Each structure stands twice: as structure tokens, then as C-alpha cells.
Amino acid sequence: MLTPQKPLLAVLAGETRTPPPVWLMRQA
């Protein structure tokens, strides 16, 4: 987690693109 905007965008965009477990692991 270098920047707070990156994970946030990944959750917003990844939420509809990839399943929950995927963006959850990306955030962790």
C-alpha cells in the first residue's frame, strides 16, 4: 500500500471486474 488512491481505485474498478477475494488480496 504505497498510495491510498491506488487500492481505492482497485476496489472501485476491481469490484465489478474481479471477484471480492481478488481485490481483497490486492488491498491486503
For the chain, domain boundaries: 1-28
Q: What is the pLDDT of residues 1-28, one digit of tens each?
A: 555 556 777 666 665 565 667 666 666 5
Give the pLDDT of residue 17.
Answer: 60
Distance CA 22, CA 11 (A): 10
Global confidence as pTM? 0.24
Give the pLDDT of residue 13.
Answer: 67
Give the pLDDT of residue 4.
Answer: 54
Distance CA 3, CA 16 (A): 21
